[in-house]
C-alpha cells in the first residue's frame, strides 16, 4: 500500500493540469511541490523520504522547464508521468519509505472511541481504497492527456467557425467533451468493479442520445465515436486491472 499511496500523491498533485492548455505557472508549480511534500510527510522520517522529496522536486522543475519549450503539452505530461513512475518503481528500494508515520496513525487510533471521524477512518480498508483511488485518478486526469494527444496528432478535434481559410477550435465543445468523458470513464470503472457490465451499454447509449441532433455532422459524429471508444477502452482496461488485484 505504501507504493500505491506514493503514486496517488503524485497523481493528485497533477489534477491542476486537467483543463490547462498552457504550461504550468511558477505559482502552480510551487503549489504542486508543497502539496507533495505535505502528504509525503505521512511517511516516517527517513533517508528514503528525503531522497523522494528531493527527486520529485527535481523532476517537477525539469518537466516545468520542458513544458515551456514544448508545443505538445499533452505528450509531455503523459511522458512525465511514465518517467516518474518508472524511476520510483525501479528504484523504490531507494526512494520509497517502508512505513507510515506511526505518530499520525496512533493519534487516530487513540481518538477512535471519542471521534466519529477517527472511528470511520479505522474501519476503512486503506489498501483497497488506495487501489481504487489510483484507478480513478488515472481515468479522471491522465487518460485525458492520452486522448487529447490522439485528437491533436490526427487533427480530430472539433472545429467551428470558418474565418477566411482558417478554423477556430471550439474550446467550449472540447471542454464539454472532456467532462462527459471523465464522468463516462468513472461510471464504467465503478460498474465493472461492481460486476454490472450491462450498465456500460446504458452509459454509451445515454451519451449518444444527448448528442443525437449533432451526430448529423459526420466530422462531429466521428469525433464523438472515436472519443467514446478510446474513453471506454481505457476505463474497461484500468478497471479490470484494478479488479484483478483487489
Residues 171-225: tens digit of each pLDDT:
666 667 778 888 889 999 999 999 998 888 888 777 766 665 666 666 677 777 8
Question: pLDDT tier at 88 (50, 70, 90 boundaries)?
Answer: very high
Domain ranges across the chain: 2-123, 133-245
Distance CA 142, CA 213 (A): 30
Burial state string for 5-43 with b = 16 or more CB within 10 A and e = fewer than 16: bbbbbbbbbbebbeeeeebbeeeebeebbebbbebbeeb
> What is residue 61's predicted lDDT score, i.e. its pLDDT?
95
Going by C-alpha positions, the residue among 90, 213, 206, 229 that lies closest to residue 147 is 229
Q: What is the largest CA-CA distance in the chain?
A: 70
Going by C-alpha positions, the residue among 244, 243, 242 that lies closest to residue 4 is 242
Task: Read off the C-alpha cell for 15.
Answer: 489534477
> What is residue 211's predicted lDDT score, i.e. its pLDDT?
63
Which pTM was predicted? 0.86
Q: Between helices 26-40 and 2-13, what is the axis angle to 10°?
A: 160
Amino acid at each position: 500500500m505504501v507504493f500505491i499511496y506514493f503514486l496517488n500523491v503524485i497523481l493528485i498533485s497533477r489534477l491542476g493540469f486537467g483543463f490547462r492548455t498552457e504550461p504550468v505557472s511558477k505559482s502552480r508549480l510551487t503549489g504542486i511541490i508543497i502539496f507533495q511534500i505535505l502528504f509525503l510527510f505521512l511517511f516516517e522520517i527517513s533517508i528514503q523520504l528525503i531522497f523522494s522529496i528531493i527527486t520529485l522536486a527535481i523532476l517537477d522543475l525539469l518537466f516545468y522547464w520542458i513544458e515551456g519549450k514544448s508545443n505538445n503539452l499533452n505528450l509531455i505530461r503523459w511522458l512525465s508521468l511514465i518517467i516518474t513512475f518508472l524511476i520510483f518503481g525501479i528504484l523504490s528500494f531507494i526512494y520509497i519509505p517502508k512505513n507510515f508515520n506511526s505518530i499520525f496513525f496512533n493519534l487516530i487510533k487513540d481518538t477512535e472511541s471519542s471521534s466519529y471521524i477517527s472511528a470511520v477512518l479505522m474501519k476503512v480498508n486503506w489498501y483497497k481504497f488506495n487501489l481504487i483511488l489510483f484507478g480513478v485518478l488515472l481515468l479522471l486526469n491522465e487518460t485525458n492527456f492520452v486522448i487529447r494527444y490522439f485528437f491533436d496528432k490526427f487533427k480530430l478535434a472539433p472545429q467551428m467557425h470558418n474565418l477566411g481559410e482558417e478554423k477556430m477550435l471550439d474550446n467550449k465543445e472540447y471542454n464539454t467533451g472532456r467532462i462527459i468523458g471523465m464522468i463516462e470513464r468513472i461510471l464504467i470503472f465503478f460498474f465493472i468493479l461492481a460486476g454490472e457490465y450491462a450498465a456500460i451499454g446504458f452509459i454509451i447509449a445515454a451519451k449518444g442520445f444527448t448528442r443525437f441532433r449533432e451526430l448529423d455532422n459526420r466530422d462531429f459524429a466521428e469525433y464523438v465515436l472515436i472519443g467514446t471508444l478510446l474513453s471506454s477502452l481505457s476505463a474497461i482496461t484500468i478497471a479490470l486491472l484494478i479488479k484483478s488485484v483487489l
